[in-house]
Amino acid sequence: MNNKFRPNTYSVWMCILVLILASLACSLPSDQSSESVRATQLALEVEATTLALEKAMLTQDAESEEEAEAPPEADEPAPEEEEQVEATPTSTEEPPEDSPEAVEGSVERASYDPAFGWGTGHDSDNFDGTKGKFPSSTAGAATSWYGDGRYNITFTSRNRWTWYWSFIDAADFYADFVVYNGDQCVPGDTAGFVFRGDKTADYGLMFGISCGGEYFIGFTAVPGSDGFIINFTEAGIEAGDRILISSDLIATGPGAVNRLGVMARGDDIDFYINGKWVANRSVAIYTPLIFVHGHFALYLGTAQKPDANVSFDDFNIWYLD
């Protein structure tokens, strides 16, 4: 059922690097003669492309160090609606009594959820034990572990990303999971998952939400926690600052609960928050060797230094024929 074909890692990275810089070169104004020529040449020369990315990464790190160290104050949790229609649950988990941030479709799937009534996925992890589909790690500034019935990630570095790969892989699928914001999250802290990824090359498509009520769709472009995260817009790829899209479907603030889902069928990918559709992207703009299948990872992105954390629960994936 799962496509086991693996593209050559070096070739895949070269394709990604050329695509990124080719896209940037095409977006330059026509009157920038020397810079436009240079950008076009970079897109065609792999060695120069690599040097340009390394220089950009160093610049990105320098700019991050110049930012103020004090984290922004967290948003107040979104008020719960006074009246909600109770949905028939398909999950055995009950909403925490002390978590008023849980909204319809988050802890329990609502009737309009794509996976409503499907039961447990072909692969799943309820995170109830001390180990499971995702690894536990205490290496470096980031840690991940199973505890209190969830999968937990912390990261004490600011403006960084960390993700942990599972051995689950798929091409066409529907997958969803529950995200619990950290108890001291700030608006820019983000969490979600990587899919159709390559564990060895450390790249993949990404979907996640922020503590401040925004979602992000993109992909990893360079391995490691300080590598490029590229935006994946309706028009194609876009480098630069992350594009975060506001959505009133997202419960916000410390401890808030949201369910994220992704439906991937061939080139088309649909994204869901708390059971409701929010966006579509097509990977047809890439070469056939990129983002057609791969592994899954859970991630945390930080906007603060000391207290960034997130918890995950109820991970399920259904393989689509």
User: Crossing angle of helices 33-44/9-26, nearest 10°?
Assistant: 160
Over the stretch 170-193, which tens digit does the pLDDT of each residue have? 999 999 999 999 999 999 999 999
pTM (2 d.p.): 0.71
Per-domain residue ranges of the chain: 8-68, 100-319
Let me know how long the chain is.
321
CA neighbor of 119 nearest in space, from 106, 128, 109, 127: 109
**Cα separation, 321 vs 173, whole angstroms:** 8
Looking at the chain, the number of H-run helices and the number of E-run strands are: 3, 16
CA neighbor of 301 nearest in space, from 246, 202, 220: 220
- The pLDDT confidence band at residue 319, using thresholds 50, 70 and 90, is very high
**Cα separation, 249 vs 99, whole angstroms:** 17
Judged against a pLDDT cut of 50, whether residue 101 lies above it is answered with yes
Q: Which residue has the higher pLDDT, 107 or 25?
A: 107
Q: Decide if 120 contacts 280 (C-beta within 8 A).
A: no
Q: Decide if 310 contacts 318 (C-beta within 8 A).
A: no
Provide φ and ψ at 290, rounded to 5°. -115, 135
Q: Decide if 37 contacts 48 (C-beta within 8 A).
A: no
**Cα separation, 200 vs 167, whole angstroms:** 12
Judged against a pLDDT cut of 80, whether residue 308 lies above it is answered with yes
Q: Decide if 176 contacts 272 (C-beta within 8 A).
A: yes
Over the stretch 163-174, which tens digit does the pLDDT of each residue have? 999 999 999 999
Place of tokens 């009950």: 94
Over the stretch 49-86, which tens digit does the pLDDT of each residue have? 344 444 444 444 444 444 434 444 444 444 444 444 33
Position 239 scores a pLDDT of 78
Positive or negative CA dihedral for 157, 245, 192, 169? Answer: negative
Average pLDDT of the residues of the chain: 76
Beta carbons within 8 Å of 72's beta carbon, 6+ residues apart: 186, 187, 188, 303, 304
Judged against a pLDDT cut of 60, whether residue 105 lies above it is answered with yes
Judged against a pLDDT cut of 90, whether residue 2 lies above it is answered with no
Q: Which residue has the higher pLDDT, 32 or 293?
A: 293
Least confident stretch, 14-23, 68-77, 147-156, 269-278? 68-77
- The pLDDT confidence band at residue 142, using thresholds 50, 70 and 90, is very high
- The pLDDT confidence band at residue 10, using thresholds 50, 70 and 90, is very low
Q: For the domain made up of 100-319, give the CATH fold.
A: Jelly Rolls (2.60.120)
